Amino acid sequence: QKEVEQDPGPLSVPEGAIVSLNCTYSNSAFQYFMWYRQYSRKGPELLMYTYSSGNKEDGRFTAQVDKSSKYISLFIRDSQPSDSATYLCAMSDGKFYFGSGTKLNVKP
Amino acid sequence: GAVVSQHPSWVICKSGTSVKIECRSLDFQATTMFWYRQFPKQSLMLMATSNEGSKATYEQGVEKDKFLINHASLTLSTLTVTSAHPEDSSFYICSARLELGTDTQYFGPGTRLTVL
């Protein structure tokens, strides 16, 4: 079993939709949780990072961590075609573990 | 956010030559940097962890004599692909670890290497 599981997609949604991206994990020692966005042929860009359970909001993005269920989510409101990218979750217990990435396509 | 640069952004070289890729943290000091390799439509593959002032730690299956890593300062790590061959053609991405108040990585823009 992988440390971090992420549905590879692709996920296709119409412009303006609310997008929900998710990862599950098995290691209860993970303390830091991150979401990255990667456009084709570019390095990943850090979108959000959280430390504790709960929600963290930044503009159209909301990161949610549920440590009891070992589940994290990234919500994108009012999705735009420019949000089309691969989204990677990552976690750290001193060592980093990445999900395999979910490819998102937002259709105009 | 923290900025990490990589140079060059792309390089084409002949088989048998060596290529050096630089990774710099521009606005913070990073005791730890990471080097990744990514094939098209695949996820990141960690190659090695680079620690300032000490030898890099390589992941299983990564040839340390082929992929030379030097982390000479708190803002610079280099990856040298020695005697490159076409199968080394890939997208190489570095990242720098920021541990001030958090524990996360900031990635460079990547370097596309094509070996002819």
DSSP category for residue B15:
T
Residue B51 sits at φ, ψ, to 5 deg, of -115, 130
Residue B51 confidence (pLDDT) above 80: yes
Query: Which residues in chain A show pLDDT less than 50?
Result: none
- The total of other beta-carbon atoms located within 10 Å of residue B53's CB is 9
Q: Please check whether residue B100 touches A, CB under 8 A.
A: no
Mutate to test the interface with B, among A4, A46, A102, A105 (most CBs of B within 10 A): A46
b/e B82-101 (16+ beta carbons within 10 angstroms → b): eebeeebbbbbbbbbbbeee
> B10 with B111: CB under 8 angstroms?
yes
Say whether A49 and B6 touch across the interface (CB within 8 A): no
Say whether B104 and A51 touch across the interface (CB within 8 A): no
How confident is the model over B67-107, as pLDDT tens digits?
999 998 999 999 999 999 999 999 999 999 988 777 889 99
Q: Please check whether residue A88 touches B, CB under 8 A.
A: yes
